[in-house]
Structure 1
Amino acid sequence: MNNLRLKALLGAGCFSLALIGSAMHPARAGGLERGGYDIDLLFDPAPFATEAEATYVMPDRKYKNARGPGGADLGLGTTADGAEPYWVPRIGAKVQVVQGVDCMVDYSQPWGAHVAPGMWNGAISNIETDIKSDNYAATCSYKMDAGKGQLRFIGGVFYQEVYGFKEGLVSLFPIATGRVDLSSSGWGWRAGLAYEIPDIALRASLVYNSQVKLDNISGSLTTPLGSTAIYSPTQSMPDSLELKLQSGIAPGWLAFGSIKWVNWSVLQSVPICPTLAPAALCFTNGPGQVTSLDLMYRDGWTVTGGIGHKFNDEWAAAGQLSWDRGTSHGYGSQTDTWTLGGGVAYTPKPNIEVRLAGAIGVMTSGHSGTLAGENGYVAGTDASYDFGNDLVTAISGGVKIKF
């Protein structure tokens, strides 16, 4: 969550407010994003600080008018749930190594998805898909005086594990299902710059997070005929670039905003092949492919703006409005999302901060059908459906302790 340095103007004092996170913005930048990347703890001025938080997100996406291949009614139902609720945990610790050098380690779950529509007319496409991730990161910064403020150079590395499964209908008569289990891992890095003027709570940061190359994707394909070892050629989790701005605007008041781009278009149709198939034949719509994980994303954009206010030494609050451009564009249900969030921070002692936040948003309507991709592959031939303007809500709690 964003740690806002609400250092009030005209000597009114300063405090930290970490409210603008997953609960205030459950949609993020589409794709498989859940917690995303967050290094704001690195900016805490205390010699040592640690925080833990958890967010529970409740999307209420509903599919309707569902049809199977060729628009057929398979008799399995025209409606289904299009998303499941989920938790987003995060824990981190930051230490001042020497004067001007700060380092942070953290654990998070940046990516994930869970959709379990069950037996419906789109069951050939999906009965249940569950994707999870674990991210272990170390980030450091060096700051130096520059003009009226301080210039900070940021760099870090992270190790990421991505894993999950997908189930689908493989036979109607008799009804039989198949399941794909996959897991992978890879490394990434980040680099950025920040400029701060603490006296007016001004901070501007620009941080780039690299792609994570997943070159060891492997698992199993299970059908009524048995289990087969499978793999997928190298894929990458997306890189991202985020610009954040904040500044004090009056005694006890702070304005903030951000713009984030995530390169979700790197994930289109992921081919899945038996291990006996050579890599030269394992590509989208290639002769070695036995099935695929179709995502067909376009890039994600997130724009956020908000206001924070300190009431006294113990209580502070913030609110924000966010817009996410949908990463789906004809296939899938990740359309544009508008989210309104708010939260409070309670500081019973100078070194302890307790936070509670919530959000409500609207996921806009649309249609999922066929979409042409690379190598002549067309996704969405096995299912089509509509969805309306649906609600998403979230709650979040966290605690920070610093010395």
Structure 2
Amino acid sequence: MAARMFSRSVTSLIILSAVASPSFAGGLERGGYNIDQLFDTSQFSVQTGMIYVNPQRKLNNARDVDPTDGTVRGSTSADETEPYYIPYAGLKAGVGDADCLLDYSEPFGAHTNPGANWVGAQSQIETEIKSRNYGATCSYRFDVGPGQFRVIGGGFYQHIEGFRTRLVAPLPFPLSAAFDGTGRLDLEDNGWGWRAGVAYEIPEYAFRASLVYNSRVDYDNLTGTVDLTQVPGAVSPGNPFFGRVTPVKGSAEAPDSLELKLQSGIAPDWLAFGSVKWMNWSLLQSVQFCPTNGLPCPAGGLTSLDLHYRDGWTITGGLGHKFTDKWAGAVSLTWDRGTSQGYGSQTDSWTVGVGAAYTPTENIEWRVAGAVGVLTSGSSGTVTSGGITYGNDVTYSFGNDLVAALSTSLKVKF
């Protein structure tokens, strides 16, 4: 009977200590897809929040694999990652047994910036990808046994944009006095996706089990430009792309995902929670871009975003506790399987998260959370898969690096 004394106000803690961990999960995941606000027990709620993430991945022992395309001189180490912010905003309304959520999020993104002064500059100098996601999700509840069964469905509109710069041709003097030899890819596109799921809840025991699928998003019109104005035509007079800006087009898919979440009261004011998520990152291998101005496309594209990902898995478990009518806390442990397969630096990560919720009145809830994790060690080298060779420009290694995150959010409910 102890579980019947469980205070349902602590059930929101599942988002606290685990919220920062997916923000540096594998692939291009940032905020991911999160519809937890849909389960808010109030009739109306407005929530806004922000996550700050500071990964500290450092590349070491870098070596220029192919000096025949021009020897790159520079440091053999580089700081690869940049800190970033992830915003969220949601509006939830309920009428009877129906609930709907409108939300803004940034599910995917990346920002690596090892710079121009390392020997891997021909692989990359800086890459940044940003996404904006506008979602609408609804559910309907009906009684089944001792609890309620919920059917979930919705859709979302997503916009993505980004750029990549790298050293195309190391230039000798006097060309280097006027040109830096770099090239830049800019891209953007938008698409639509949908989600469907089910959930079962027994409020008396603070029990909830949910299974939600998020569809792929087709970016079959990734358009942009390749700017090679910093590579003069004199480097290779027969190359029609040097010294100019070329419009390009490519295609890719944002991955679909499936996530199972569980929580249950285990003692008065104690909650256990966990989740398992699969992300179909293996969709992203090499995204090639070809000219759209009538010029023939070189083998492998005029340029490409080479990722060579495998599917991602994220497993989280934790405990939450209500200390007083105003204060509650939670702790979690998260393991995320790295998506790199011998190329790239996305290895497994382990993260410990802690969070607290302060509820000064029944209408206001303020949350703060933090996480500290380890990005495990590994190396990146030349890999051939599906007829495509990855990492034939630079090899490097990396040790166990730290990553930290902070998040805060404010919810007003009535």
Is 1:372 the counterpart of 2:384? The answer is yes
How far apart are 1:26 and its partner, in Å? 3.5
Number of the residue aligned with 1:109: 106
Map of 1:153-164 to 2, 5 A cutoff?
153-164=151-162
Question: Would you say the 8 A contact 2:284–2:309 is kept in 1?
Answer: yes
Is 1:141 the counterpart of 2:139? The answer is yes
Unpaired runs of at least 5, structure 1 = 1-7
Q: Deviations over 1:31-69 (max 9, x none)?
A: 000000000000011110111110100000000111123
Q: Structure 1 residues 220 and 24, CA, compared in 2 at 3 Å: closer, same or farther? A: closer
Is 1:67 the counterpart of 2:71? The answer is no
Q: Residue type matched to 2:244 in 1?
A: G
How far apart are 1:377 and its partner, in Å? 1.2
What is the aligned counterpart of 1:260 among 250, 269, 277? 277
Q: Deviations over 1:328-386 (max 9, x none)?
A: 01000000000000010000001100011101000000001111122x11011011110
Number of the residue aligned with 1:229: 247
Q: Distance between the aligned counterparts of 1:326 and 1:351, measured in 2?
A: 40
Q: Residue type matched to 1:31 in 2?
A: G
Q: Distance between the aligned counterparts of 2:292 and 2:21, measured in 1?
A: 43
2:107 aligned counterpart, secondary structure: coil
Q: Distance between the aligned counterparts of 2:274 and 2:6, measured in 1?
A: 23
Question: Would you say the 8 A contact 1:319–1:343 is kept in 2?
Answer: yes
Q: Distance between the aligned counterparts of 2:145 and 2:6, measured in 1?
A: 23
What is the aligned counterpart of 1:318 among 326, 330, 336? 330
Number of the residue aligned with 2:149: 151
How far apart are 1:12 and its partner, in Å? 4.9
How far apart are 1:24 and its partner, in Å? 4.7
How far apart are 1:25 and its partner, in Å? 4.6
Q: Distance between the aligned counterparts of 1:57 and 1:236, measured in 2?
A: 25
Number of the residue aligned with 1:79: 77
2:37 aligned counterpart, secondary structure: helix
Number of the residue aligned with 2:200: 195
Is 1:382 the counterpart of 2:378? The answer is no
Q: Distance between the aligned counterparts of 2:368 and 2:3, measured in 1?
A: 25
Number of the residue aligned with 1:307: 319
Question: Would you say the 8 A contact 1:92–1:106 is kept in 2?
Answer: yes
Q: Deviations over 1:282-340 (max 9, x none)?
A: 6xxx6371111001000000000000000011000000000000000100000000000
Q: Distance between the aligned counterparts of 2:35 and 2:8, measured in 1?
A: 20
Q: Deviations over 1:241-277 (max 9, x none)?
A: 0000000000000000000000000000001111135
Number of the residue aligned with 1:4: none
Q: Residue type matched to 1:210 in 2?
A: S
Q: Distance between the aligned counterparts of 2:194 and 2:255, measured in 1?
A: 12
1:326 aligned counterpart, secondary structure: coil
| Larger radius of gyration between Structure 1 and Structure 2 | 2
Identity %, equivalent residues: 57
Number of the residue aligned with 2:115: 118
Number of the residue aligned with 1:276: 293
Question: Would you say the 8 A contact 2:16–2:330 is kept in 1?
Answer: yes
1:172 aligned counterpart, secondary structure: coil
What is the aligned counterpart of 1:402 among 399, 403, 413? 413
**Number of corresponding residues:** 387
Is 1:19 the counterpart of 2:16? The answer is yes
Number of the residue aligned with 1:332: 344
2:309 aligned counterpart, secondary structure: coil
Number of the residue aligned with 2:239: none
Question: Would you say the 8 A contact 2:93–2:99 is kept in 1?
Answer: yes
Number of the residue aligned with 2:240: none
Q: Residue type matched to 1:349 in 2?
A: T
Question: Would you say the 8 A contact 1:24–1:357 is kept in 2?
Answer: no
Is 1:392 the counterpart of 2:386? The answer is no
Number of the residue aligned with 1:217: 222
2:8 aligned counterpart, secondary structure: coil
Normalising by structure 2, report the TM-score: 0.91
Question: Would you say the 8 A contact 1:82–1:117 is kept in 2?
Answer: yes
Q: Structure 1 residues 52 and 207, CA, compared in 2 at 3 Å: closer, same or farther? A: same
How far apart are 1:215 and its partner, in Å? 1.6
Unpaired runs of at least 5, structure 2 = 231-242
Number of the residue aligned with 1:92: 90
How far apart are 1:153 and its partner, in Å? 0.2
Q: Distance between the aligned counterparts of 1:294 and 1:302, measured in 2?
A: 23
Normalising by structure 1, report the TM-score: 0.93
2:120 aligned counterpart, secondary structure: coil
1:9 aligned counterpart, secondary structure: helix
Q: Distance between the aligned counterparts of 2:212 and 2:21, measured in 1?
A: 21
What is the aligned counterpart of 1:9 among 3, 25, 44? 3
Q: Residue type matched to 1:293 in 2?
A: L
